[in-house]
């Protein structure tokens, strides 16, 4: 006696396709950024004199290596009052690094665009690179500012990349700022650059990332193959 089977295509639950590969390569990218950042800072600390005395032109006077200590945030900006603003900033960076790490795993599991996860890895590597400076450099390189309560968590970040877009005195005829000396571009490091590049790529390519994420999400469910229905 023949029994009619229900149509599997209309009643079978969706089949979820596992994402191939692993999120590990993105964390390895972050680790690579951290390693390059820390190596560059070590070389600058051990082989360059600080300030103008050790300045090395790379592309004329436009791109230079210039060793300087930065007690504040990225690109030399100091927003929090010393001395304990430094501790607050470091704690925030540690929390941010943990949050970004969790978010990268979340993005991977939800099939976000690989390029977007890579950008988050650049941001993570840069954040951790500067956290290492703040926590340990006061002890390793003895560069904590004078009067710091402890060398731990008060280390100064080593900056060295100087893109000199403009350096000089502004025309005296300009109102308010005329006659003042201006150095237009700050000095930064590999970690700062990694964060900047990661954020810039997200802003520039967000449409492409979003479209790719939608395509990946659409592939989460698929009709079972014909061979499974017979």
Catalytic residues, by residue number, are 159, 192
Q: Report in angstroms the alpha-carbon separations of 11 from 41, 78, 206, 220, 230.
A: 61, 61, 37, 17, 15
CB pairs under 8 A, 24+ apart, for 141-149? Answer: 141/45, 143/69, 145/71, 145/82, 145/83, 147/83, 148/83, 149/83
Contacts for 230 with CB less than 8 Å, ≥ 6 apart:
none
For residue 85, report the phi and psi dihedrals to the nearest 5 degrees: -60, -30
Report the distance separating Cα 176 and Cα 158, nearest Å.
33
């Amino acid at each position: 006696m023949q029994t009619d089977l229900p149509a599997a295509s209309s009643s079978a639950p969706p089949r979820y396709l596992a994402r191939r590969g692993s999120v590990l390569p993105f964390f390895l990218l972050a680790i690579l950024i951290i390693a390059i950042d820390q190596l560059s800072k070590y070389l600058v600390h051990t082989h360059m004199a600080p300030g103008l005395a050790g300045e090395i032109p790379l592309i004329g006077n436009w791109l230079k290596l210039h060793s300087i200590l930065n007690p504040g945030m990225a690109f030399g900006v100091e927003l929090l009052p010393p001395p304990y603003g430094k501790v607050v900033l470091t704690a925030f960076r540690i929390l941010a690094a943990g949050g970004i790490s969790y978010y990268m795993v979340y993005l991977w599991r939800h099939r976000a665009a690989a390029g977007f996860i890579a950008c988050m890895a650049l941001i993570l590597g840069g954040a951790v690179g500067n956290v290492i400076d703040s926590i340990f450099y006061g002890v390793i390189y003895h560069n904590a500012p004078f009067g710091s309560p402890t060398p731990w968590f008060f280390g100064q970040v080593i900056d060295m990349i100087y893109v000199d877009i403009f350096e000089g005195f502004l025309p005296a005829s300009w109102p308010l700022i005329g006659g003042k000396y201006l150095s237009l571009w700050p000095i930064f490091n590999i970690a700062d650059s990694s964060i900047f590049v990661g954020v810039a790529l997200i802003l520039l390519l967000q449409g492409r990332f979003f479209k790719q994420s939608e395509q990946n999400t659409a592939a989460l469910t698929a009709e079972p193959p014909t061979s499974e229905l017979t």
